[in-house]
Structure 1
Amino acid sequence: MTPLIAVAHGSRDPRSARVVTAAVSALRVRRPDLDVRLCFLDLNAPSVDQVIDAVAAEGHASAVVVPLLLGSAFHARVDLPALLDAARLRHPHLHVRQADVLGHDARLVDAVRERIVETGGPLGESGLGVVLAAVGSSDPAANDRTRGLAESVVAGTGWSRGITCFATAAEPTVRQAISTLRRAGAERIVIAPWFLAPGLLTDRLSRAAESCGPGITYAATIGPHPRLVDVILDRYSHTRVQLQRHRALSA
């Protein structure tokens, strides 16, 4: 079986690695037949190089690398591909293929919606406003795509409105988003992170929101949600088929 190498961003905050590890553990429980390895781009161990070298040393002929990233930014488009190119030079007989990022998959939107419900926000609560908190990018087009996610989260519910805010690089800020929702009549606000795991940025968002007064609740990050496992497995399966076709044509 072709190993699945899950690549997380990495963080100085130990909570981040714990939550990502829990998500990968949930993946292993779902698919005990699958060889799943976890590594990190930065700040945590093992590294991408260490895991790929181990896979090659064990004699595997191929591997699928699934970035545990919500956006297709520098890490997905430049950093990780460069690491994989170097690995191919070190191990010419190991066929490594990178899957798409997790992205704005509708199943992850469902997961965020469920995290909001877990805070005590029933789907029919008309006075509930949602602030979807995302990282932010230097690419305006990427931010525009992310802005639309908040509307997707509240779609099909009775919630009053959803607005995306950004922790870095773009507006609205969390304070601006909260102010807009209150002006629109929201009686209670939930901050819902568009993050896989907690860390320094989610803490920064929480501190900023705390200065906006009462009536604010904080949802959990996506974490080891079953829908996240679904998306990871889909990215793996699709890329594994592509890899097998490529190897067959190259034979």
Structure 2
Amino acid sequence: MSQENGRPALLLAGHGSRDPRGAREFHALLELVRARAPDLAVEGGFIELSPPPISEAVNRLADRGAREIAAVPLMLLAAGHAKNDIPATLVREGLRHPGLRFRYGRALGVRPELLALMDERISATVPAEQRDETAVLVVGRGSSDPDANSDLAKIARLFYEGRPYPIVESAYVSLAPPNVPEGLERCRRLGARRVAVFSYFLFTGVLEERIRDQSREFAHTHPEVEVHYAGYLGASGPVADLVLERYREAVEGDIRMNCDVCVHRVALPGFEEKVGAPATPHYHPDEPGHHHHH
């Protein structure tokens, strides 16, 4: 398929997971996007952990005649991967494919559709008559980027607004406090007898499973608190629609990364060394030149 319709191809840039179920969910989302835009060349690849690497997806689009590619980072929040690793990888791909032009879209971000999807998942776990006495703990991946961590706090507050849940707290499963047990303990100390835990993740994986396990452990050691696990966002229609909106914005619109509190531009306390640091491509383990260890 060549690019005779003149529209740039769409490249979905995912993170990758050690859990093959997470990679399968990424591909399921890819299929939902393709079904919604049958005339669009759509491929997806990962930064790390899962095949195929982004470079392979770019090769496939180039082989299909793409001259322009709009890349959308399949990240809920813009942290290091969306701000640094993926753009640097696209620069590298541009050097490998001098005939290709790249555009870069925004991370999915703080969106009402995602809040509505989260509401749907939590509502499926908490009966209507119990909602006004159930706390919600929204758990994010956690980042070394304060901007991304603050976005999760914003999401928790936006979810609280206009909904019946009396307490909505945020926590992180890695890299940032409070962790899951601390978040649950905070809800307990605020008087919650019932807590719904929601993982603010697109797909399952090692970390999503950890949130599930830690929630179960907390419930076991605190029998006075009911803990209900409400799952994660998952490959679904609203997410696929949002990906295509980010694609359209990348192609037609005015893309603005939120740079007001970006560690690469602003000296935030404890992160001063990141200001002006060069962006470096993230080598996928399946690529030549890979020296990245976990």
- TM-score (norm: length of structure 1): 0.90
SS at match of 2:183: helix
Structure 1 distance, partners of 2:118, 2:129, is 13
Asked if the contact 2:14/2:45 (under 8 Å) is kept, the reply is yes
| Corresponding residue for residue 193 of structure 1 | 199
> Shift of residue 242 of structure 1?
4.9
Q: State whether residues 203 and 235 of structure 2, in contact with CA within 8 Å, keep that contact through their aligned partners in structure 1.
A: no
2:164 paired residue number = 158
Deviation at 1:123, TM superposition (A): 8.1
CA distance in 2: counterparts of 1:23 and 1:225, whole angstroms:
7
5-14 or 133-142, larger mean C-alpha shift: 133-142
For residues 90-101 of structure 1, the aligned pairs below 5 Å read 90-101=96-107
Q: Which 5+ residue runs of structure 1 have no aligned equivalent? A: 244-251
Corresponding position of 1:10 = 16
Mean Cα displacement is larger for which, 156-165 or 69-78?
69-78
Q: Secondary structure at the match of 1:125?
A: helix
In the alignment, is the contact (CA less than 8 A) between 1:6 and 1:38 conserved in 2?
yes
Aligned partners of 2:107, 2:198: CA distance in 1, in Å?
A: 20
The one-letter code matched in structure 2 to 1:220 is G
Identity fraction in percent? 32
The residue number in structure 2 matching 1:248 is: none
As a proportion of its length, which structure holds more helix?
1
Query: What's the RMSD between the two structures over aligned residues?
Result: 1.8
- 1:239 maps to 250
Alignment match, 2:83: 77
| Distance of 1:170 and 1:43 partners within structure 2 | 22
Given residue 15 of structure 1, which amino acid in structure 2 is its aligned partner? R
> Is the 1:20–1:197 contact (alpha carbons within 8 Å) kept by the matching residues of 2?
yes
1:104·1:149 contact (CA, 8 Å) conserved in 2?
Answer: yes
Kindly indicate whether residue 131 of structure 2 is the aligned counterpart of residue 125 of structure 1. Answer: yes
Residues 1-251 of structure 1 correspond to what in structure 2 (within 5 A)? 1-122=7-128, 125-213=131-219, 214=223, 215-242=226-253
Moved over 3 A (4+): none
Change in CA separation of 1:107 and 1:234 when aligned onto 2, cut-off 3 Å = same
- For residues 121 and 26 of structure 1, the distance between their equivalents in structure 2, rounded to whole angstroms, comes to 30
Quick check: 2:77–2:151 contact (8 Å CA) kept in 1? no
Query: 1:148–1:164: 8 Å Cα contact kept in structure 2?
Result: no
Q: 1:37 to 1:200 in 2, by over 3 A?
A: same
Shift in Å, 1:3: 1.4
**Secondary structure in 1 matching 2:178:** coil
The number of equivalent residue pairs is 243
User: Which residue number corresponds to residue 249 of structure 1?
Assistant: none
1:12 to partner: Cα distance:
0.8
Distance (whole Å) between structure 1 residues aligned to residue 40 and residue 62 of structure 2? 17
Give SS of 2:119's match. helix
Instruction: State the distance in 2 between where 1:117 and 1:145 align.
Output: 23
Which sits farther off after the overlay, 71-80 or 140-149?
Answer: 140-149
Q: Give the conservation status (yes or no) of the 8 Å contact 2:80–2:145.
A: no
Q: Provide the C-alpha distance between the structure 2 equivalents of 1:24 and 1:58, rounded to a whole number of angstroms.
A: 17
Which one-letter code corresponds to 2:167 in the other structure? R
CA contact (8 A) 1:88 1:94 kept: yes
Alpha carbons 1:121, 1:128 under 8 Å: kept: no
Rounded Cα–Cα distance in structure 2 between residues aligned with 1:123 and 1:70:
31
SS at match of 1:169: coil
